[in-house]
C-alpha cells in the first residue's frame, strides 16, 4: 500500500489517506507533522509562526498528530490549537523568573524516573514521547529528546524505590505520554506497580484523548480495566478540542470504569476568559470528565507570552462560582517554583471573622453573616474505638 505524500497538500483531509490509516493511532504517530512544510499542508502559516518555527523548533521539539492538526483553523493564527502547537519567536527568549526545570523535579528524584514531592504519592516518568509537543510543556527539558521508553533497569530501580517506601499510596504514571506506549509495554509498567501491596491506586496523566483519541480502543480498555482502581487525568485546554472522536475516547475509558479528571493549563489568548473555561468544563462533564486542576502556567523557559497574570485565573474562578455547578469548578493552583508543590489560590470570600462570627460574601457579592455554634470540643469519641 502506498501512502499519499503529506507534504504540500492543502489541506490534508481524511480523503488523502484511507479511513483505516487515519483511525490507526500508529499511523498518526508515524505521520506527525514537525516542519514548516508539514504544517503548511494544513494551515497558512503567519509570518510570526514562520519566524517561530525558525527560532524555536531547534530549542524545543515541535510535533503534532495529523488528527490534532486537522482541528487547526487554516487561516486564523489565533486558533487555540495552532497556539498550542506552533511556536512563536518569543519562545526562544528567557524571561524574568523562568526556569528550565520550573518545579525543581530533577532535585526531587530519589530514583531514576521518580519524582517524590509529597509524602504519600510519586510521579513515575515512564517515557519521554508525546503525541503532540505542547508549547507550554513544563517538562520540555526532557520530553521529546529521543522518544525513549524508560529502560527495564531504570524501571526496576524505580519500582524498587516504590516497594521500599511504604508511605507511597498513589503512583502517577506520566512522562511523556504513557498512552503512546504499546499496550504490552504499558501493561508491564502498570502491572508491576499494581503488584506492590501498599499502592492503593494508580493514576495516568495523558493527553491522548485530546491529541490521539483513536488510541483509546477496546484492546487498551480491556487491559486497563484489569488494574483497578485506576484513574486517568487528561489535559483539555479549549472546547474546540472536544470532538466526536475525543468524546468517544473519554466515554470508552469511562465505560471501562475509569474515573476521568481534567487538568487545564491557563494560556493567554487560548483559554484566559471565563467563557472559554465555562464552555470547556460543561463539555467535559457531558462526556463524564470532571474538571480537576486549573493550572497557572509554570514559569518554564520560553513561555512568558503564553502565561496569564495570576489575577486573570482568580477572576475566572470568581465568575465560575455560583454560575456553574461545583462539579464544573476545578482547583486553581500555582505549582510552586523550585518544588514546593501545588498551592491553591482563588477569590476571597471571607471578609472578616472573629468573636464566633464570619462575615462572608456570596457569588453575587451579597454579604452573609454566619454565627458559629457555642465553642465545644471537636474530638470524635467513637474513633477511639474505630481506629483501635
Ligand X SMILES: *Cc1c(COP(=O)(O)O)cnc(C)c1O
Cα-Cα-Cα-Cα torsion 175, 180, 184, 188, nearest 10 degrees, comes to 10
Count of alpha carbons within 13 angstroms of residue 316, beta-carbon side = 31
43 or 333: whose CB is closer to ligand X? 333
Residue recorded with cell 470547556 = 280
Task: Assess whether 77 carries a catalytic annotation.
Answer: no
Residue whose C-beta lies closest to ligand X? 117
Site membership for ligand X, residue 282 (CB under 6 A): no
123 or 246: whose CB is closer to ligand X? 123
Site membership for ligand X, residue 290 (CB under 6 A): no
Chosen residue from 23, 118, 201, 358 binding ligand X by CB under 6 A? 118
Task: Assess whether 307 carries a catalytic annotation.
Answer: no
Q: Which of residues 86-105 bind ligand X (CB under 6 A)?
A: 103
Site membership for ligand X, residue 231 (CB under 6 A): no
Residue 298 CA, chain-centre distance (Å), reads 12
- In whole angstroms, the minimum distance from the beta carbon of 110 to ligand X comes to 12
Does residue 101 contact residue 141 with C-beta atoms inside 8 Å? yes
- In whole angstroms, the minimum distance from the beta carbon of 58 to ligand X comes to 28
3-state secondary structure of 333: strand
Task: Assess whether 79 carries a catalytic annotation.
Answer: no
Site membership for ligand X, residue 137 (CB under 6 A): no
Chosen residue from 92, 115, 210, 230 binding ligand X by CB under 6 A? 115
Distance CA 207, CA 265 (A): 12
DSSP 143-198: TTSS-PBPPHHHHHHHHHHHHT-TT--EEEEESS-GGGS-HHHHHHHHHHHHTSTT
Site membership for ligand X, residue 268 (CB under 6 A): no
Binding segment for ligand X among 118-126, 145-153, 178-186, 356-364 (CB under 6 A)? 118-126
Chosen residue from 31, 82, 121, 240 binding ligand X by CB under 6 A? 121
Does residue 128 contact residue 147 with C-beta atoms inside 8 Å? yes
Q: Report the candidate in 141, 135, 288, 264 with the shortest Cα–Cα distance to residue 205.
A: 264
Q: Which of residues 321-350 bind ligand X (CB under 6 A)?
A: 342
Distance CA 20, CA 17 (A): 8
Which of 32, 38, 137, 203 does the annotation list as catalytic? 137
Active site residues: 117-118, 121, 130, 134, 137, 139, 298, 335, 342
Binding site for ligand X (CB under 6 A): 103, 115, 117-118, 121, 123, 172, 342
Amino acid at each position: 500500500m502506498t501512502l499519499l505524500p503529506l507534504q504540500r497538500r492543502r489541506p490534508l483531509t481524511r480523503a488523502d489517506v484511507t479511513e483505516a490509516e487515519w483511525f490507526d493511532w500508529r499511523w498518526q504517530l508515524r505521520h506527525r507533522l514537525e516542519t514548516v512544510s508539514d504544517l503548511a499542508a494544513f494551515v497558512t502559516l503567519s509570518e510570526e509562526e514562520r519566524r517561530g518555527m525558525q527560532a524555536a523548533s531547534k530549542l524545543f521539539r515541535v510535533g503534532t498528530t495529523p488528527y490534532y492538526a486537522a482541528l487547526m483553523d487554516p487561516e486564523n493564527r489565533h486558533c487555540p490549537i495552532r497556539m498550542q502547537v506552533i511556536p512563536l519567536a518569543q519562545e526562544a527568549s528567557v524571561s524574568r523568573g523562568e526556569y528550565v526545570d520550573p518545579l525543581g523535579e530533577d532535585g526531587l528524584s530519589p530514583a531514576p524516573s521518580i519524582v517524590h514531592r509529597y509524602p504519600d504519592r510519586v510521579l513515575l516518568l515512564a517515557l519521554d514521547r508525546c503525541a503532540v509537543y505542547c508549547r507550554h510543556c513544563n517538562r520540555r527539558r526532557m520530553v521529546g529528546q529521543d522518544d525513549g521508553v524508560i529502560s527495564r533497569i531504570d524501571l526496576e530501580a524505580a519500582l524498587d524505590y516504590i516497594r521500599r517506601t511504604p508511605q507511597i499510596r498513589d503512583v502517577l504514571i506520566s512522562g511523556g505520554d504513557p498512552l503512546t506506549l504499546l499496550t504490552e509495554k504499558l501493561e508491564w509498567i502498570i502491572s508491576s506497580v499494581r503488584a506492590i501491596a501498599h499502592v492503593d491506586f494508580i493514576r495516568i496523566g495523558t493527553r491522548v484523548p485530546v491529541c490521539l483519541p483513536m488510541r483509546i480502543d477496546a484492546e487498551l480498555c480491556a487491559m486497563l480495566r484489569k488494574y483497578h482502581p485506576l484513574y486517568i487525568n487528561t489535559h483539555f485546554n479549549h472546547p474546540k478540542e472536544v470532538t466526536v472522536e475525543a468524546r468517544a475516547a473519554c466515554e470508552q475509558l469511562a465505560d471501562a470504569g475509569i474515573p476521568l479528571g481534567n487538568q487545564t493549563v491557563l494560556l493567554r489568548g487560548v483559554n484566559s476568559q471565563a467563557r472559554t473555561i465555562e464552555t470547556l468544563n460543561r463539555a467535559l462533564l457531558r462526556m463524564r470528565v470532571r474538571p480537576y486542576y486549573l493550572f497557572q502556567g509554570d514559569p518554564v523557559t520560553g513561555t512568558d507570552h503564553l502565561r496569564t497574570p495570576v489575577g486573570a485565573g482568580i477572576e475566572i474562578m470568581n465568575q465560575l462560582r455560583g454560575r456553574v455547578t461545583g462539579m464544573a469548578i476545578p482547583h486553581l493552583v500555582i505549582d510552586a517554583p523550585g518544588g514546593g508543590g501545588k498551592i491553591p489560590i482563588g477569590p476571597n470570600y471571607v471578609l472578616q471573622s472573629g468573636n464566633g462570627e464570619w462575615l462572608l460574601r456570596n457569588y453575587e457579592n451579597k454579604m452573609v453573616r454566619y454565627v458559629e455554634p457555642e465553642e465545644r470540643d471537636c474530638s470524635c469519641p467513637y474513633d477511639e474505638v474505630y481506629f483501635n
